[in-house]
Every structure is written in structure tokens, then in C-alpha cells.
Structure 1
Amino acid sequence: MKSYLDLLRTSGVGRIIAAQLTARFPSGMLSLAYLLHIEHLFHSYGAAGLVLATTSIGQAVSGPLTSRWMGRWAMRPVLILTTLVCSTTMIVVALLPPGVPLPVYMAVGLLGGLAFPPVQPAVRTIYPKMVTARQLTPLFSLDASAQEIIWVAGPVVTTFIATQISTVLAILIAAGFCLGGGAWFIFSPEVGRVRIPRSKRAFGKVLTRPTVLVVTVVGFVLIGACAAIEASVVASFGEGSVESGAVLAVFALGSLVGGLAFGHAPVGRWSLARRMIVFVVGAVASVIAWEFWSLTAAVLIAGLAVAPALAVMFAAVSSSVKFSDTAEAYGWVGTGQLIGAAAGSAIAGVMIDHFDARGGLAAAAGFAVFALLVPLIFARALPDLRGRDASPIPDTEPVQTLRP
């Protein structure tokens, strides 16, 4: 824990982590809040799914683009614009009067997804400028671990408010977090101090970097596996059951513990594959689990690898691209994870319908094995950061000199 205490003593680190978690808290609230609200209005989970789908498509499309804009127009203007537009769409969805047709909600959801603030790429671009090279990998691990708060507390808060008070209030509180947390993050001194150079590469060119492509693919299948596990756990015990909530909480707790326990470990070419082995063991064990305690133990094992794997992925991307390309690279990684979550949920849903919850867990195990094979086969594309700086490659350009 000493490395994490040293990090939190570093000027601004604790504040920027807290600010970005607050700004990103709607990520853990919005899907469930929209699901409950639209289902309440239209009495159809299918209608709610369409609104969620358009919102997710918007996020996936805009992630790399808005991240790249931060190098063109600076972080604060892009974050201010996206935060205002995104929070406004949440308020509109919450306050639209009864009788408004479903396509209107879908259009507003799409706009909100397109304007989702690129806080995650921004903060991970800022981190290398705040700490020493030795502290950067533990900081990525601390960040990956801390974000589990979003996925544990967000759904709990949303469910309580939406079911006990009002779905409208649940969405408005998410909008409040977006505005308040966004303002806290945007006006943090570190956001004003860091200037991302304008990238000279074409949009999307950063994906030709083998490390970025490998990490994007691994993120796609890893988060797809996580989404499949979550859907299958709910199917195992029933929606809203205490058992499913407890198992999912242990899954997230395992990730938090794993990130804190292994975040200081040196990152080599095989580090990601080793973490994926642990995840595969947990995912495969979940398929043969027979009751609550065995399934809880299986997802705990799988969870132990999630935050450590994400930390390795963030460090690998950071060290493999120029500073001007880091935000866009993280945007693509985030898009891969969003698409993976949608694909994992969809495939698990089909398997659950045909083979019950065990079929969904088998789909998760399939995703997990794929997530292991990619870093095993393409280990040479991943950097060896043992004893090396994980900071981005500096941007350089020719300098004119006077000839004698």
C-alpha cells in the first residue's frame, strides 16, 4: 500500500481521481435509469433497449472523435461543450411529457451518447504529467481499481431512487453528477496546465499501432466477458434478487482488491496474458459452479484479474504512442470496451434463452479464452516496461538552426 499512499500524497492526484470519478458516475447510473424510466413510460423492455442501444452507439462513435478534438481545441472547451449537451439530453429525457413517441427518446439518447464527455481519455492523458515514471503504472492501477466504485455504487443508488421515489429523479441526479462532477474535473488546475499537442496523423491512424490495436481487441473481449457474466448472474438468481446483487458486488470487489494488490507489479510483455489466465480460470469455473457460494468464488477469482489487466492495458497504450495521440488512442480503447459490453450482453442473452444461465456463462468463458489468446499470440506487440518509463513518446519536430 505504500506506493498508493505515496501517490495520494502527490499534489493533485487524490483530487483529480475524485473529480473524474464524480464526473463519470453517470456511467454507472444512466443505463439502468433509462431502462427503468422508458419501460415505465412505454411498458416495454424492448422500447427501453432501443433507447439504450442508440445511446451506446452514440458513445461508441464519438469516443475517439471527441478525444481527438481535445488536441485541436484544448481539453476544457471540448469537456465544457460535451458536458453541457450531455447533461441537457438527460434532463430532456427525464422531463419529456407523456405521449412523446419513442423515436424522440431514441434521438435524444443518440445525441447524449454522441456528446458523452471524454473524461476518461482526458484524465489518462493528464496522469503522465502529474507523477514520476515509477509512479505511473501504480497510478493506472489505482485508477482502474477506483472506477469499480462507479459500477458498484451507481446501480445501487439508481435502483433505490428509481424504485422508491421516481425514475425522473434518478435521471436528474445522474445529470447533476454530470454537471457538478464535470465542473469539478474541468476546472481542476491540472486540466488547465496540460495541453495536448495537435496530432499530425490522420484520424484513426493510431489504430495502426500494434499495441493500440491489441489492447483495443483485448478490451473488447474482456469487457464482453464481464458483461456476459453480469447478465448470466442476474439470470441465475432473478432480476433484483439479493443473491445476484451480492455476487456482482463480489465480482467488482475482486477487481478492486486485485488492482490494489498487483498494481505495483512490473509490466512485461507477458503480464497481460498472465492476468488473463486468472480471468479464464474464474470464468471457466463459473460455468461448472452449482450454487450461490461456488459461483461467488468463481467470479471473485475472475474479478481479481480485471483491474490489473486494465492497468497493464493503459500503461501499454501510454508508452506506445506520442503524447498528441494518447487521448484518441484511449478513445478507441473505450469504444472497443463499449462495443464489447453490448456484444457480450447480446450473445449471453441469446445463450441464456436457449440454454439457461449456464449458457450465458459458457459464452463468457469463450470471450475469456479469446482475451487470453490475443496477448499470448501477439505478445511481441506489447511493450516490456520493466525498468522503463511508461510515459508517452514525446512529440518532436524539426528545429531550424542558423548555418555558420
Structure 2
Amino acid sequence: MKSYLAVLTTPGAWRFLLPALCARLPFAMLQIGILLLVQWATGSYGWGGVASAAAAVAQALLGPWTGRLVDRWGQARVLVPQTLTHAALLGGLLALAQNRAEPFVLVAVGCLAGATVPQVGSMVRARWANVLPPRRVGTAFALESVTDELTFTLAPLLLLPIATAYSPVWGLALALVMVLAGTLLFASVRHGAPAPAPSSDRTSAGVRGRRGVSLLTGAMLGVGTVFGSLQVGITALSAELGDPSAAGAVFGTFSAGSLVGGLVYGGLRSAAGRPSRLALLLALLAAALTGPALVGSLGLMYGAGAVAGLVIAPCVITGYTLLDALVPAEVKTEAYTWLNGAIALGIALGAALSGQLVDRLGAAPAFLVPPVAVALAALAVGLRGASLLPEAGDGVRDPGRSKALV
């Protein structure tokens, strides 16, 4: 715990961590909230799914452009207008749903709301990288991975009871209030925020054109399919076995395993090369994901999900820490949003592929998507791992010289 205490006791850290937590909960509520809202307004789960997927894809594709603006102009100057725009679009979506607007209108506005989601998680990581010494950054990213798990665990607990007892309008209205309060307060706290860099170090292809960034983006897209596919597969399997209410608890064991894995991994110290470690972790994750594909009962699914969860957080932590060593400070926010967007896109892709398999073949084939996707990511990293080491003289620290986590 000394590693975590050293990070959490960083002077001024709690000034931006607490409002960031409030701002990140609505991020986790948005996708399921839009699904429930559009289904409530149209009576169609199909339209709800389309609207939710459109918001997720728009957020994944537009997030890096937000990151680029933040690196160039600073966090506050981008966050304030972006948050107000996002709140206006979300409020418009609520009003349209109340008035039973046409489904395609709801999908379009939901897509715009997703495109304008404030990228607070990436900005928090950029602040950690700015205020901490290199040996502590990996531990901070482990803490961020755990925070992500907590927000995606708490979000349904806040949203679903309100949506069930009243309507999805009230659930997303809560998200609207939280994103305004949390994000604007976070923007007002300047401690740790990197200085703007109008003449950032960029290649002609942008951050993604830098050495190793595309490889990490592809690897995290594979990891993202795990979340989307397991959500669909576990839900479908629970329904097939006559106990649909068990789906939340089963997926909860996966989240709990990920939280524990992230905490334990975040306290480790190792001198092993990071690219080889990422390839090994991805291979272990692919192997662990064969468990859900092989079991046929909910009882065994609890254990299989927990084992897979233990490995996934270390994969994400290592990916972010490798990226931190590959890009200069002037473009870190944009770089982090590429990984965030890749994971979000992987979630949408995994859910879509698994949903098609469930419709045609039943629940079991849905669990085949994650191990295949992650195994391909492990193979790519194993073959091209050298590109994840900074080139000599590029001014970015070499992760192989540090014995800190990941």
C-alpha cells in the first residue's frame, strides 16, 4: 500500500480527484442511460441499442480530437465550452424523448451527445503524468484503472433504480447535473494541469502516427471487446438458463476480479521489459477467456468471470504506461484519448458481434469473440514489441530503464 499512499498523498491531488470522480460517473452512465431512454420513448430495444452504439462510436472517434485541442489550448479552455455543449445536447435529448420524437432524431442527438462527452479520465491521467516522478506514474495509472471499474460498477446502481422507479428521463437528468457540477469544478482546479503547448510535437499523421501508438491502440481495441462481449454473453446465457436476474451478479464478479487484479498489480515492482510483459498479459487474458467459453452453468461462470477479470486490469494499466513512455508531454492527453476511444470502440464492436451470434446461434458462441480478439492482440504485440520502446534520442523516457510498476 506504500505505493498507493505515496500517490494519493501527492500535494493537491485530491483537489482534482474528487470533482473528477463526480464528472466520470455520468460518463459511465451515458451508454446504458441512452439505451433505456430511447427504448422508453420508442418502445423498441432495437432503436435503443442503435442510439447507444452511435453515442459510443462517436465518443471513440471524436475523443482524440478533443484531446488534441486540450493539449494545444489547455484543459479549462476546452472543458468549459465542451461541457456546456454536451449538457445542452443531453438536455435536448431528454426533451425530445419526453415528447416522443422520431427514433432517428433521438439517435442523431444521442450520437452528438456521445461525441461531446468530456474526456476527464484522460485529463486526470495527464495530470498524474505531469505531477509525479516516472517511477510513480504506473501506480497512478493502476489507481485510475481501479477508478474506472468503480465508476462502471456504481453507475448502474445510481441509474437503474431511478429509471425503474420513475423513468429513464430522471436517471439521465441526474447524469446531466453531475457532469455539469463535476466537470466545471474539475476545470476550475488548475493544480496539475499541463501547460498548453500550441506548437506541440506532432507528426503529419498526428499522435497515432508516432512509433508504437497504433499498435497499442489496436491492442486496447481487442481488450475492449472483452467488456462488450461478456455483457451480451452473460445476459443471454442467464436468460437461456432461466435466471436473467443473475447476469448483473455474474458480471459483477468479473468487475470485482478486475478491481483486485488492478490493485495487486499496481503494488508490484519488476525489472521485466514492458513490451514483453504486455504480450504475456494479453496471452494470459486470452487463455483466461476460454473459461467463459467452455463453462455451461452460471455457478461456474462466476469463477470463470473472476479469473478473466484478474488479468484484464493489468493489461490496461500496462498499455497506458507504455504509451506514457512513447509520447512527449505536449501530446499526452490526445494519446490517452486514443486508448480510451479504442477500448470504447472495442466494447461497441464486441457487443455488436456477440449480439449477432446470440441471435443466430445462442449464447455460447458469444464467448468466442473475446479470446480470439485478445489472442490476435497478443500476437501483434509479440511480433512488433520493439516498436513499443522509444527510439534513442527522442526525448521520451525509456520504460526499460525503470524498475517501477509496468
Counterpart position of 2:307: 301
Does 2:377 correspond to 1:371?
yes
Does 2:123 correspond to 1:122?
yes
User: What secondary structure sits across from 1:195 in the alignment?
Assistant: coil
Name the amino acid aligned to 1:74.
G
Alignment partners' CA distance in 1, 2:183 and 2:85 = 12
- The partner residue of 2:296 within 262, 285, 290 is 290
Aligned-residue CA RMSD (Å):
2.0
Name the amino acid aligned to 2:70.
M
Alignment partners' CA distance in 1, 2:291 and 2:100 = 48
Counterpart position of 1:388: 402
Alignment partners' CA distance in 2, 1:308 and 1:200 = 29
Counterpart position of 1:400: none
Alignment partners' CA distance in 2, 1:197 and 1:73 = 7
Name the amino acid aligned to 2:13.
V
Name the amino acid aligned to 1:247.
V
Aligned-residue offset at 1:170:
0.2
Name the amino acid aligned to 1:72.
R
Name the amino acid aligned to 2:402.
R
- The partner residue of 1:322 within 318, 328, 335 is 328
Aligned-residue offset at 1:155:
1.6
Aligned-residue offset at 1:386:
4.2
Does 2:261 correspond to 1:258?
yes
Measured against aligned partners, the alpha-carbon deviations of 1:52-91 in whole angstroms (never above 9, x if no partner) come to 2332232122111111111222210101111111122112
User: What secondary structure sits across from 1:269 in the alignment?
Assistant: helix
> In structure 2, do the counterparts of structure 1 residues 349 and 79 end up closer, same or farther at CA, with 3 Å as the change threshold?
same
Alignment partners' CA distance in 2, 1:159 and 1:373 = 39
> In structure 2, do the counterparts of structure 1 residues 357 and 139 end up closer, same or farther at CA, with 3 Å as the change threshold?
same
Residues 278 and 301 of structure 1 are in contact (CA less than 8 Å); yes or no, is this contact kept in structure 2? Answer: no
Alignment partners' CA distance in 2, 1:99 and 1:350 = 28
> In structure 2, do the counterparts of structure 1 residues 21 and 374 end up closer, same or farther at CA, with 3 Å as the change threshold?
farther
Counterpart position of 1:340: 346
- Percentage of pairs with the same residue: 27
Alignment partners' CA distance in 2, 1:389 and 1:15 = 29
Aligned-residue offset at 1:103:
2.8
Alignment partners' CA distance in 2, 1:161 and 1:203 = 47
Measured against aligned partners, the alpha-carbon deviations of 1:164-213 in whole angstroms (never above 9, x if no partner) come to 1221110100111111111221122325x521312242564222223211
Counterpart position of 2:395: none
> In structure 2, do the counterparts of structure 1 residues 132 and 202 end up closer, same or farther at CA, with 3 Å as the change threshold?
closer
Aligned-residue offset at 1:2:
1.5
Does 2:237 correspond to 1:236?
yes
Residues 351 and 363 of structure 1 are in contact (CA less than 8 Å); yes or no, is this contact kept in structure 2? Answer: no
Does 2:69 correspond to 1:107?
no
User: What secondary structure sits across from 1:238 in the alignment?
Assistant: helix
Name the amino acid aligned to 2:246.
E
Measured against aligned partners, the alpha-carbon deviations of 1:28-71 in whole angstroms (never above 9, x if no partner) come to 21121211121111111122123223322321221111111112
Deviates more, 1:275-284 or 1:63-72: 275-284
* Aligned pairs for 1:88-237 within 5 A: 88-96=88-96, 97-190=98-191, 193-198=193-198, 199-201=200-202, 204-237=205-238
Aligned-residue offset at 1:142:
0.9
Residues 73 and 196 of structure 2 are in contact (CA less than 8 Å); yes or no, is this contact kept in structure 1? Answer: no
Counterpart position of 2:66: 66
Residues 211 and 316 of structure 1 are in contact (CA less than 8 Å); yes or no, is this contact kept in structure 2? Answer: no
User: What secondary structure sits across from 2:212 in the alignment?
Assistant: helix
Alignment partners' CA distance in 2, 1:124 and 1:148 = 15
TM-score normalised over the length of structure 2: 0.90
Alignment partners' CA distance in 1, 2:105 and 2:365 = 36
Residues 35 and 49 of structure 2 are in contact (CA less than 8 Å); yes or no, is this contact kept in structure 1? Answer: yes
Counterpart position of 2:392: none
Counterpart position of 2:25: 25
Aligned-residue offset at 1:334:
2.0
Aligned-residue offset at 1:128:
1.5
Residues 67 and 328 of structure 1 are in contact (CA less than 8 Å); yes or no, is this contact kept in structure 2? Answer: yes
Counterpart position of 1:86: 86
Aligned-residue offset at 1:389:
8.9
Deviates more, 1:159-168 or 1:203-212: 203-212
Aligned-residue offset at 1:160:
1.1
The alignment of Structure 1 onto Structure 2 pairs a total of residues equal to: 389
Aligned-residue offset at 1:354:
2.3
Counterpart position of 2:252: 249
Deviates more, 1:47-56 or 1:214-223: 47-56
Residues 247 and 299 of structure 1 are in contact (CA less than 8 Å); yes or no, is this contact kept in structure 2? Answer: yes
Counterpart position of 1:395: none
Residues 32 and 52 of structure 2 are in contact (CA less than 8 Å); yes or no, is this contact kept in structure 1? Answer: no
Counterpart position of 1:4: 4
Deviates more, 1:100-109 or 1:334-343: 100-109
Name the amino acid aligned to 2:274.
G
